[in-house]
Chains A and B, each alone.
Chain A
């Protein structure tokens, strides 16, 4: 099975900061990677699929890049609404493996 490793697990940042979260796959998944945002007590929300395709309605400050085994989610200027936990997910196989999550909190 593919393993997905996110780093860091926790990130403290301020409004306006540029934030980067990394996701590493244990084997190549081409570009079949998605990113989700989850707030406490809520269901996850799909932000990006196919590595870099932004979902409709997602602010352009979010972007994704990478291929193969290394991927990044970047928030260009962190906003108050962005404090949440972020998960990567591979969908190269039938089992959709999630990363362990990165919690972004207020510094």
Chain B
């Protein structure tokens, strides 16, 4: 079945870096846009970034642009989120999610279980 599994979360100090990974299975990964969405504790959903089907374009939320980098490896069916210069306000559960189409502007029909990133001194 279609599945997304995140890894790499944990506790990190402000200003440090962390890399999240998402492993996909059960679908043709290279045909779909892939996203990261986060949810701060007790708050709503915030879209973070997208990489389109072939990895040739990526887009970011204003809140993370210049600090986070999204990437994908279609040969390994994986997607990463490199998070640099982390801030306390980046503390959240991070979800990997699959778009229903190949491009960026699509609803998200499959989500991972989420992984917690805590930025704290």
Measuring CB to CB, which residues of chain A are less than 8 angstroms from any residue of chain B? Answer: 1, 32, 34, 36, 38, 43-46, 49, 55, 87, 89, 91-101
Contacts and interface: CB of A to CB of B under 8 A. Distances in A.
A91 B104 CA distance: 8
B87 to A, nearest CB: 19
Contact of A98 (B47, B59, B62, B113): B47
A12 to B, nearest CB: 19
Contacts of B44: 87, 98-101
B66 interface: no
Nearest to B44: A101
B107 A95 contact: no
Interface majority SS on A: helix, strand, loop or mixed? loop
A46 B114 contact: no
A26 B80 CA distance: 32
Given A96-B37, A96-B107, A98-B46, 4 more contacts: A32-B105, A89-B107, A94-B59, A96-B47
A106 B40 CA distance: 24
